[in-house]
Amino acid sequence: MTIERFIRLEETQHVPDAARVLFERKYKNAIPDFPHHIVAYYRASGGAEVPACYIHFTDCGDILLGGGACVDDRVLRKMSADERDALRTVGGIYQFALTWSVRHFSDRFAAVFGYCGDALAERVDRAAGFESTAYDRLLVYWTREVDAERRHRMVEKAQAFTPF
Protein backbone atom coordinates (compact mmCIF):
# COMPACT_ATOMS: atom_id res chain seq x y z
CA MET A 1 0.00 0.00 0.00
CA THR A 2 1.42 3.39 -0.93
CA ILE A 3 1.11 6.14 1.64
CA GLU A 4 0.06 8.66 -1.00
CA ARG A 5 -3.22 6.71 -1.35
CA PHE A 6 -4.34 7.85 2.09
CA ILE A 7 -2.03 10.73 3.13
CA ARG A 8 -1.83 14.09 1.36
CA LEU A 9 0.69 16.75 2.38
CA GLU A 10 0.56 20.43 1.62
CA GLU A 11 1.88 23.79 2.61
CA THR A 12 -1.12 25.98 3.26
CA GLN A 13 -1.92 29.55 4.28
CA HIS A 14 -5.33 28.48 5.57
CA VAL A 15 -4.83 26.13 8.50
CA PRO A 16 -7.85 23.87 9.04
CA ASP A 17 -9.69 24.32 12.32
CA ALA A 18 -8.90 20.73 13.32
CA ALA A 19 -5.15 21.45 13.03
CA ARG A 20 -5.59 24.65 15.07
CA VAL A 21 -7.36 22.73 17.83
CA LEU A 22 -4.69 20.01 17.77
CA PHE A 23 -1.89 22.60 18.10
CA GLU A 24 -3.68 24.50 20.88
CA ARG A 25 -4.39 21.29 22.79
CA LYS A 26 -0.73 20.25 22.68
CA TYR A 27 0.98 23.61 23.21
CA LYS A 28 -1.68 25.56 25.15
CA ASN A 29 -1.06 28.42 22.73
CA ALA A 30 -2.58 29.79 19.54
CA ILE A 31 -1.18 28.46 16.30
CA PRO A 32 1.31 30.89 14.69
CA ASP A 33 -0.39 33.37 12.40
CA PHE A 34 2.47 33.50 9.87
CA PRO A 35 3.91 31.02 7.35
CA HIS A 36 4.83 28.22 6.87
CA HIS A 37 2.12 25.70 7.77
CA ILE A 38 2.47 22.05 6.71
CA VAL A 39 -0.52 19.76 7.13
CA ALA A 40 -0.67 16.01 6.52
CA TYR A 41 -4.24 15.00 5.77
CA TYR A 42 -5.61 11.52 6.23
CA ARG A 43 -8.01 10.52 3.48
CA ALA A 44 -10.55 8.14 4.98
CA SER A 45 -12.25 5.44 2.92
CA GLY A 46 -15.24 7.73 2.33
CA GLY A 47 -12.95 10.39 0.81
CA ALA A 48 -13.15 12.94 3.64
CA GLU A 49 -9.78 14.43 4.63
CA VAL A 50 -8.82 15.28 8.21
CA PRO A 51 -5.54 16.69 9.53
CA ALA A 52 -3.37 13.96 11.05
CA CYS A 53 -0.16 15.96 11.51
CA TYR A 54 0.78 19.65 11.61
CA ILE A 55 4.24 21.28 11.54
CA HIS A 56 5.08 24.98 11.60
CA PHE A 57 8.20 26.45 10.00
CA THR A 58 9.51 30.01 10.37
CA ASP A 59 11.44 31.69 7.54
CA CYS A 60 14.57 33.40 8.87
CA GLY A 61 16.17 34.34 5.56
CA ASP A 62 18.76 31.70 4.74
CA ILE A 63 17.55 29.27 7.42
CA LEU A 64 14.22 27.72 8.33
CA LEU A 65 13.15 26.99 11.91
CA GLY A 66 10.85 24.02 12.42
CA GLY A 67 8.71 23.65 15.49
CA GLY A 68 5.21 23.19 16.76
CA ALA A 69 4.81 19.70 15.38
CA CYS A 70 1.85 17.67 16.54
CA VAL A 71 0.10 14.45 15.59
CA ASP A 72 -3.53 13.60 16.17
CA ASP A 73 -3.50 10.11 17.67
CA ARG A 74 -7.29 9.95 17.34
CA VAL A 75 -6.91 10.13 13.55
CA LEU A 76 -4.20 7.46 13.60
CA ARG A 77 -6.52 5.13 15.53
CA LYS A 78 -9.14 5.49 12.76
CA MET A 79 -6.70 4.17 10.15
CA SER A 80 -6.82 0.59 9.00
CA ALA A 81 -4.14 -1.83 10.17
CA ASP A 82 -2.64 -1.78 6.65
CA GLU A 83 -2.48 2.02 6.67
CA ARG A 84 -0.80 2.08 10.08
CA ASP A 85 1.67 -0.58 8.91
CA ALA A 86 2.49 1.49 5.82
CA LEU A 87 3.17 4.54 8.01
CA ARG A 88 5.39 2.48 10.32
CA THR A 89 7.60 1.57 7.35
CA VAL A 90 8.44 5.29 6.90
CA GLY A 91 8.84 6.05 10.61
CA GLY A 92 5.30 7.31 11.25
CA ILE A 93 3.23 10.27 10.13
CA TYR A 94 5.49 12.91 11.74
CA GLN A 95 8.66 11.53 10.14
CA PHE A 96 6.87 11.24 6.78
CA ALA A 97 5.65 14.86 7.02
CA LEU A 98 9.03 16.14 8.24
CA THR A 99 10.92 14.39 5.43
CA TRP A 100 8.44 15.78 2.89
CA SER A 101 8.84 19.27 4.39
CA VAL A 102 12.64 19.22 4.19
CA ARG A 103 12.43 18.25 0.50
CA HIS A 104 9.71 20.86 -0.08
CA PHE A 105 11.82 23.69 1.35
CA SER A 106 15.30 22.50 0.27
CA ASP A 107 15.52 24.76 -2.78
CA ARG A 108 14.80 27.85 -0.66
CA PHE A 109 16.83 27.20 2.51
CA ALA A 110 20.34 25.84 3.01
CA ALA A 111 19.47 24.61 6.50
CA VAL A 112 16.40 23.55 8.42
CA PHE A 113 16.70 23.68 12.21
CA GLY A 114 14.68 21.90 14.84
CA TYR A 115 14.56 22.53 18.56
CA CYS A 116 13.69 19.32 20.39
CA GLY A 117 12.43 19.45 23.93
CA ASP A 118 11.17 15.89 23.79
CA ALA A 119 13.05 12.61 23.27
CA LEU A 120 10.55 11.15 20.80
CA ALA A 121 10.67 14.24 18.56
CA GLU A 122 14.46 14.17 18.67
CA ARG A 123 14.52 10.49 17.67
CA VAL A 124 12.22 11.18 14.72
CA ASP A 125 14.20 14.27 13.65
CA ARG A 126 17.42 12.26 13.67
CA ALA A 127 15.79 9.45 11.70
CA ALA A 128 14.77 12.08 9.11
CA GLY A 129 18.41 13.15 8.74
CA PHE A 130 18.81 15.93 11.29
CA GLU A 131 22.12 16.07 13.15
CA SER A 132 23.49 17.59 16.34
CA THR A 133 24.88 21.09 16.65
CA ALA A 134 27.10 22.45 19.41
CA TYR A 135 23.91 23.35 21.30
CA ASP A 136 21.79 21.00 23.36
CA ARG A 137 18.38 20.38 21.72
CA LEU A 138 19.26 22.31 18.53
CA LEU A 139 19.38 20.00 15.49
CA VAL A 140 20.05 20.83 11.85
CA TYR A 141 19.36 19.34 8.45
CA TRP A 142 21.75 20.67 5.80
CA THR A 143 19.96 20.73 2.44
CA ARG A 144 23.18 21.43 0.53
CA GLU A 145 26.92 21.87 1.00
CA VAL A 146 27.73 24.89 3.15
CA ASP A 147 31.27 25.92 4.10
CA ALA A 148 32.29 25.68 7.77
CA GLU A 149 32.26 29.43 8.44
CA ARG A 150 28.75 29.87 7.01
CA ARG A 151 27.54 26.77 8.87
CA HIS A 152 28.79 28.30 12.10
CA ARG A 153 26.96 31.59 11.41
CA MET A 154 23.75 29.75 10.56
CA VAL A 155 23.89 27.65 13.73
CA GLU A 156 24.51 30.78 15.82
CA LYS A 157 21.59 32.51 14.13
CA ALA A 158 19.26 29.58 14.85
CA GLN A 159 20.48 29.36 18.45
CA ALA A 160 19.57 33.02 18.96
CA PHE A 161 15.91 32.11 18.36
CA THR A 162 15.73 29.17 20.78
CA PRO A 163 13.47 27.87 22.01
CA PHE A 164 11.26 27.96 18.94
pLDDT band per the 50, 70, 90 thresholds, residue 56 = very high
* Residue 14 lies in domain: 3-160
Q: How many CB atoms lie within 10 A of CB 100?
A: 20
Number of structural domains (the chain) is: 1
CATH code of the domain covering residue 40: 3.40.630.30
What would the pLDDT profile of 130-152 be if each residue is shown by its tens digit? 999 999 999 999 999 999 999 99
pLDDT tens-digit profile of 15-29? 999 999 999 999 999
Q: Is the dihedral of CA 33, 164, 104, 100 positive or negative?
A: negative
Q: What is the mean pLDDT of the chain?
A: 96
pTM as predicted: 0.95
